[in-house]
């Protein structure tokens, strides 16, 4: 096995560069418990969650000079919705452009849970991203996977942390990043579920409102013309087709302006 393959194998199994496992998480537990409460109490929007996570990463991980989030679109493209500094977006896009780096690897559903380098400019795995990042003055990088949706197409992402300091990220930093990524994934899943529920409720409310206004319009026609409910609905349906107007919109107009409007009697 080559040096590059050996390094890659260690990374995929969550070992550090020296072959040892990261240290166990320690005194950060209270801080992450507080973050959990903050995330759950916050307005459940995706943007709000991501801002909380990148802020917590800066506060809890020593030498975290830049933090960003990568999300993967359904078509496989990557984008950075949140970052602590525009240079983080520049470094992320360097990875997107060349298709290499810990960020894009961790953001893929089948990629490693963790990707990092203590001297990215000399890392043989990323011949374009590594030197480019070092040229901007950043020498350590750490990325942990985000899995905000376990259902197909399993949209995914990564929490990305950059440091100007070589050898910046030790086992404690990796543990902290993993905990943050877990919190972010759960919070994102929660916020997306809430958004989906709100959207479903909106659609249901719109359906009920449409049904009610159609009923009002039918009642107006029944009273005005002395026809049955089915006949009134036929009048609405035919007028909707002839005028190329949605049935609910037509019914709403008739219900609110029934003293001004009438509909043509459909031909039989």
Give the residue extent of every domain in the chain.
Answer: 3-191, 197-256
Most confident of the ranges 25-29, 169-173, 232-236: 169-173
Q: Per-residue pLDDT tens for 52-65?
A: 888 888 988 999 99
Query: Quick check: 9 pLDDT over 80?
Result: no
Q: Match 């525009």 to its residue by tokens.
A: 86
- The DSSP element (H or E) to which 163 belongs, if any, is strand 157-163
CATH architecture of the domain formed by 3-191: 2-Layer Sandwich (3.30)
Q: What is the mean pLDDT of residues 112-127?
A: 93
Among 257, 233, 92, 243, which Cα is nearest to 162's?
92
Query: Quick check: 24 pLDDT over 50?
Result: no
Most confident of the ranges 19-23, 173-177, 204-208, 254-258: 173-177
CATH code assigned to 197-256:
1.10.10.10
Which one-letter DSSP state was computed for residue 121? G
Model confidence band, residue 95 (pLDDT cutoffs 50, 70, 90): very high
Q: Per-residue pLDDT tens for 239-252?
A: 877 777 777 777 77
- The DSSP element (H or E) to which 83 belongs, if any, is strand 78-83
Model confidence band, residue 122 (pLDDT cutoffs 50, 70, 90): very high
**Residue 63, Ramachandran bin (φ over 0: left; ψ between -120 and 50: alpha; else beta):** left
Q: What is the pLDDT of residue 266?
A: 53
Task: State the average pLDDT for the chain.
Answer: 75
């Amino acid at each position: 096995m080559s040096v590059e393959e050996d390094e890659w194998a260690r990374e995929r199994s969550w070992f550090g560069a020296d072959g040892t496992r990261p240290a166990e998480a320690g005194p950060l537990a209270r801080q992450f418990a507080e973050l959990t409460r903050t995330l759950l109490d916050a307005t459940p929007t995706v943007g709000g969650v991501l801002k909380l996570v990148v802020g917590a990463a800066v506060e809890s991980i020593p030498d975290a000079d830049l933090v960003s989030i990568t999300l993967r679109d359904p078509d496989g493209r990557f984008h950075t919705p949140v970052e602590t500094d525009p240079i983080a977006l520049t470094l992320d896009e360097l990875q997107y452009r060349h298709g290499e780096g810990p960020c894009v690897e961790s953001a893929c559903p089948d990629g490693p849970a963790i990707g990092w380098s203590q001297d990215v400019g000399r890392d043989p795995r990323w011949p374009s991203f590594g030197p480019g990042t070092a040229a901007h003055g950043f020498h350590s990088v750490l990325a942990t996977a985000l899995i905000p949706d376990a259902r197909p197409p399993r949209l995914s992402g990564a929490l990305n942390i950059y440091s100007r300091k070589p050898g910046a990220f030790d086992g404690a930093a990796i543990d902290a990043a993993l905990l943050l990524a877990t919190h972010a994934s759960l919070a994102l899943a929660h916020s997306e579920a809430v958004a989906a529920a709100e959207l479903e409720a909106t659609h249901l409310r719109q359906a009920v409102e449409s049904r009610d206004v159609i009923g009002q319009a039918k009642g107006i026609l029944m009273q005005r013309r002395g026809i049955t409910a089915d006949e009134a609905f036929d009048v609405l349906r035919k007028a909707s087709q002839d005028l190329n107007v949605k049935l609910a919109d037509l019914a709403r107009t008739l219900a609110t302006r029934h003293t001004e409007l009438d509909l043509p009697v459909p031909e039989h």
